[in-house]
A = this chain, B = another copy of it.
Amino acid sequence: MIGIFDSGIGGLTVAKAIKKVLPSYDLVYFGDTARVPYGNKSDDLIKQYALEDAKFLISKGAKIIIVACNTASSVALDYLRSNFDIPIFGVIEPAVRGALEATVNGNIGVIGTRATINSKVFEKLLKNFDLLKQNKKIDKNVNVPAFMRKQGISPVKDKMKINIFSQSAPLLVPLTEEGHLNRPETIKIIKYYISPLKMKQIDTLILGCTHYPLLKDLIQTKMKNTTLIDSAVYIAEDLRKYLSANIDIDRSLSKRKCENYYVSDLTLHTQNIVQKFLGKKINLEYVKLN
């Protein structure tokens, strides 16, 4: 059983992508809507919340955990890995892989919440990637994903100088949740956030928050020649690869037996956003975390 958690319901886009590529696995989702958002909170608090979220998923039978929340992936991934023995995947490493594969000029931009950007996790990962390529000692405090360690990206990319430019874009979360998806004020705020990145001539932009893919079309119209990276696609692919390499049983013929979605607070508004996010209704179950 695959467990997925997020600070709220944005991570359902990740669940959707995983469902698509792994139709035979059971799935349990937890959205911490009682304490959403995480993006402006302190690192210590985000770690505490992430630990509680993961514990809940494990109590429901999860044998592998996906941290769908970019903020928790940035701040709490190593902390979670040191607390549990099961495999734990974040959404940052897959997004970096996607961006490295996509970039042509080596200038990668990233937008995320304040906590995600402040963590400098993207910069640290790429710094290690650089050091690895030069056969130098890496920063051992920063986890180095297998795709960097084992095979690199490609002979061309492994020699390319990569620059990363990051920008926190906190207002895009409430704008998305309020359904202001195609309004003039949203365009103005997007311009405000991306213009410093455009000045850096980025050709690839990581959408470093589960909410941002809903604004993908709008962002694309403002950044015509930029490849937008939605980590949901890459994490689903990484997970599929991991499972086919590590799990003995052939599940290709079996069917998903259960699929549960829990939230720590449930309002009509939450249900409406979910419908907007997924294009359909799903059954959300309320659960009291503490």
Interface of A with B (CB < 8 Å)?
A: 33-35, 40-42, 45, 114, 170-171, 173-175, 177-178, 180, 183-186, 188-189, 192, 265-267, 269, 290
Contacts and interface: CB of A to CB of B under 8 A. Distances in A.
Contact of A267 (B42, B170, B189): B42
A171 B188 CA distance: 15
A40 B185 CA distance: 21
Contact of A290 (B34, B41, B265, B290): B290
Contact of A40 (B171, B183, B192, B269): B269
A63 to B, nearest CB: 29
A148 B180 CA distance: 40
Given A178-B170, A185-B192, A192-B185, A34 B40 contact: no
Contacts of A41: 33-34, 265, 267
Given A170-B174, A185-B189, 9 more contacts: A41-B265, A45-B265, A114-B269, A170-B178, A171-B180, A174-B174, A184-B188, A188-B188, A290-B290
- The interface centre, meaning the residue of A33, A34, A41 with most chain B CB atoms within 10 A of its CB, is A41
A88 B244 CA distance: 60
Contacts of A40: 177, 267, 269
Please state the number of chain copies in the assembly.
2
Nearest to A180: B171
Contacts of A35: 34-35
Contacts of A192: 183, 185
A263 to B, nearest CB: 10
A267 B75 CA distance: 14
Nearest to A264: B45
A183 B171 CA distance: 13
A188 B187 CA distance: 11
A56 to B, nearest CB: 16
- The interface centre, meaning the residue of A35, A183, A185 with most chain B CB atoms within 10 A of its CB, is A185
A182 to B, nearest CB: 13
Contacts of A174: 170-171, 173-174
A186 B218 CA distance: 19
Contacts of A33: 41
A208 to B, nearest CB: 17
15 contacts: A34-B41, A35-B35, A40-B177, A40-B267, A41-B265, A42-B265, A45-B265, A170-B174, A171-B174, A173-B174, A174-B174, A185-B186, A185-B188, A185-B192, A290-B290
